[in-house]
Chains A and B, each alone.
Chain A
Amino acid sequence: MVGAGPAGLTAAQALAARGIPVLLAEQGPVVGGWAACYACKAATDCNLCGVCLSARVSRTMQPGAGVTLKVDAHVLGIEGGPGSFAVRLAHRPRGVDVSRCTGCGRCAELCPVAAIAQPHPQALPMAYLLDQEACLRARGEECVICREACPFGAVLLDDTPSEELVQADVVVLATGFEPYPAARKGQLGYGRLPGVITTMDLERGLWQHGPEYLSRLLPGSRRVAFVHCVGSRDLAAGRGWCSQVCCPTALRLAGRMVRELPGLEATLFFIDLQRCAPGIARLFDDLPPEIHLVRGIPGDVLSEPGGLLLTFEDVATATRRQELFDLVVLAVGMDSPGAAAGMPAAAEGFLCDLPAGVVAAGACGGPVSIPEAVGEGLRAAGAALRVLESLS
């Protein structure tokens, strides 16, 4: 099982529940994929964003119950066929022994340069992470403070990358997506203008800092623009698909922002609003008065003395308009991370036409929401079981 996002975690648990031993390899230090770092978007009531589901999937993951979890393990390549796959794993040095660290935090209390820390407060596993670049040893010093401090002998100061070959009968790829690199759309100013962020930045900022993040981003200001379809439905950018989650996500984020910061006004700039299920349509039907909808995508974002100037074609009135904002949030689409683990991908980069015995699950096959990714995990588990049955 490659990748421990919502899809991979679900598939691993579903297979383990049928008595199939599973090796779950995740390149990152913790499980959960992107969704592990998303914010709750409830306004007065839950807005059904799906993050609760991804939290549950991570929470119910019981390492040991049939699933061997390997974090910091990047899958480099897969060879062979059904019943005899050889999977090449590259271990990234974590600097901490996951099987011994209890997360006690003693190392972090004593490290003089804060080079060792927990991944995040709901991380699974909760084992700490050593940032080898920040560590004093990277500067040639002989510091062993954390290693000495650890009551469990869990610090591995000389952890080095290594490779491993593991055998598998069937491979499930749940390698997920990458957010569209918004900086590629230079005219929108991402990475160049301070007030321009992406929905991914907002998700993570809210998750990490809570509402404080908003007041920090926006001290005293109140006009926020959300620009939809950044890196989606855009043949010029080489991305001819709708990413499906960004319309509801932008709306939910806007909903939470206007609730948290009184006086804030948000405008969504879109082509078509994807009110793709009754529960989502209702969110758009019951808009709070602080949220405005404009059909039309701004071509560029300019920094002006009064704020960020957006120029757009307002489709409803067929007029060219300009408006100033304090913050511009780009609703970035879901991109493929490219050919994962040496597997074939379609022109858009999403996985397709996989060899026999390899199954894809979740966002690596195309844009999905969290609940859909979980469903994909179930589906892939079924497909993998079928392959296993055909082997025996």
Chain B
Amino acid sequence: MKFRKLIFANLFRKKVRLILTVGSFAIALVLFTFLAVVKSAFNRGVELAGADRLIVVDRVGLMNLMPISYADKIAAIPGVKAVTHDHWFGGVYQDEKNFFPQFVIDVENHRKVYPEFVVPDDQWNNYVKDRQGAIAGAKLAERFHWKVGDRIPIKTTLYGGAIWEFNLDGIYHTEKPDGDQGQFWLQWKYFDENVPSVIKSTAGWYILRLDNPDDAVRVAKAIDEKFANSPHETKTETESAFAAYFAKQFGNIEFLILSIGGVVFFTLLLVTGNTMAISVRERTSELGVLKAIGFTDRSVLFLVLAESLAIAFFGGVLGLALAILAIPGISAAVTGLLPPLLLSKPMLLLGLGFAIFVGAASGLLPGIGAMRMRVVNALRRA
């Protein structure tokens, strides 16, 4: 391209300004990818949800417990393949900041409902036999350097505040690499024996697997009708609907991310647009000369756009490179607080697209200004 030299020479005209503008693109892109990664982490629960699973919770709210007797009643409904139940244990390991989810699981049916969590059979069998046994996700075990056979004290915050001790009998993996490998499972039987009497013989929520995902609506209706007008009415929904609802418990993440993203977008647009406007204004007489010697209005617009696109491209690539380096570290630092943060290829492409869009948009107005500028006026300002 013949204009290459001119574009690059213009680009490097003010080095400090170039560094600052490229830098703002880079920082904005790091922030952009971080937001995209957090958003996708929150949505991952919805994406990973089994299409053939329903969740049954107490109609009043997630914190209301339901009688354990519901398990058999739900299992009796046609179309239900298996039922299991969970409790939220809500403890901490050693320190408040070591948060991770602990679930009180029903060892008889858990594997039938959650086939994607894989535990070696010998470990699973030891766990079932061991009332104080526990299973940890591979990521979780890695985080605290646990190995099978370790004794793990967990202080509850919900059930009397005592310290419960568990034997780590096994480690689970997920079939998909981005699955949730940060859970800790203890046994319902052990839990039930040790909790205060009001909590005995209860389940936090039920999870059931369907014979056929197409049956979801009918089965959900049948369950809710069955417990209508009882002391514990239920609300049954698909796992993805539940995951979406659960993510909302953290606040309206989507809205938060979109608003921060919007602010980043407009700030970047203004910063770059302003920079381009200034550099076009500084060059008024030069642009006048170019037009006088025969550069068309369109090629002048092209020169300005090429410059802002080049800034956007280099800043964008730099920002994405920084994000690729930084996100694993951030992800490790927030394990337990947030689902794992994974940077995917579509996100990188989206980020680059975002940068290029801002580059084009911010070069457009100054470029049109340069295009419309009349040669005689531009030259008189020399």
Judge: A and B partners, yes or no. Answer: no
